Amino acid sequence: MARQIDWQRWLGRRLRLQDLHVFLAVVQQGSMAKAAEQLGVTQPAVSKVIADLEHSIGVRLFDRSPTGVVPTMYGRALIARTNAAFDELKQGVLDIEFLADPTQGELRVGCSDPISASILPPVMHSFSQRYPRVALHVNNVTLPIWELSALRERKFDLLLGRWPDPFAGQRVADDLDVESLFDDRLVLATGEHSPWARRRKVDLAELVGEPWILPAVNTWSHTAILDAFKSRGLDMPRISMMTNSIPLRAHFLRHGPYVAALARGNLLPIADQYGLKILKVDLPVDPASMVLVTVKGRTLSPVAQAFIEHLRKSTHPMRSDKSARPR
């Protein structure tokens, strides 16, 4: 009867993959000598490995004869499990090769609705053309509350967003890497058929009575516009609509007499599509940083690294000389 073995201790300290490899070679060749020849070692070396295995397990793995060796019932039991172990290891290596391939895999991005509707589409389109086997997952993150816990829990590989001043009073956690991609300016826009679109210069005071479209309260652009009017001693603008939806704002600007405050980075990618024009208005508003957020010290997949590099190159033309660098 085989003696009881402390498997956790024995497997970790005594059983080696190399020994099992030798064991399978003997099984396949049916001879210690032939297995040694296949492995490029001496027959005594092979015999010692098998003898040590048998001693460690406490059973005979092979029946010896002058013509070779034949697995015992214990040996046949070990063959099945050893083959399964090596198959799993091979699959593990294949899994790692898949994960290490920057041309295929998955990427999970969290961002606000305005970014997913304007800045992100051209970046994703060019990235997908270059890496067609990468599946991109984009989920909208409700601002101003960032889903940083979801990033830490690996529900996202990275977050994209706009944090003014530079982070709207939020403390940047020590476990996060926050990289400024570019500084974004606030601009005023109308449809190309608006009388304001033909003006070479417009004073903010002239727009007090116009119907305005602003994003939700507590967003950077909403707060910045109200502060701009206050700093000029002007009455508050007449807000006709509040929405964070870029397509909805663009639709009403195109078909109505509206003025809207948008980040320049959100407007430029869709301006031609919707026929929108930037008004030449001096706005006393500080820029906001478009930032990329990842978890500090976490190894990013090659796909995520490739996307981040592509994102940097794609947004580089929007970077100002005085780009803020959040720490």
Write out pLDDT tens, residues 226-279.
999 999 999 989 999 999 899 999 999 999 899 999 999 999 999 999 999 999
96 to 36, 69, 133, 211: CA distances (angstroms): 31, 37, 16, 56
Measured CA angle at 286 (ends 281, 288), to 5 deg? 110
CA dist 60 and 53 (Å) reads 9
Residues 200 and 268 in one domain: yes
Which domain, by its residues, includes 11?
Answer: 7-99
Contact between 179 and 296 (Cβ < 8 Å): no
Mean pLDDT over the full length of the chain: 85
Residues 157 and 299 in one domain: yes
Q: How confident is the model at residue 42 (pLDDT cuts 50, 70, 90)?
A: very high
Residues 165 and 310 in one domain: yes
Residues 15 and 80 in one domain: yes
Query: Which amino acid is located at 45 in the chain?
Result: A
Is 323 within a domain? no
Q: pLDDT tens-digit profile of 142-173?
A: 654 456 778 888 889 999 988 754 444 455 66
Angle between helix 264-274 and 246-255 (nearest 10): 50
Q: How confident is the model at residue 8 (pLDDT cuts 50, 70, 90)?
A: low
- Locate 186 and state its tokens: 């606030």
Q: Which of 130, 115, 103 is nearest to 313 (CA)?
A: 130
CA dist 112 and 244 (Å) reads 9
Residues 173 and 306 in one domain: yes
Domains held by the chain: number: 3
Residues 20 and 160 in one domain: no
Q: Please enumerate in sequence order all residues whose Cβ is within 8 A of that of 6, keeping only pairs 6 or more positions apart, or say none.
A: none
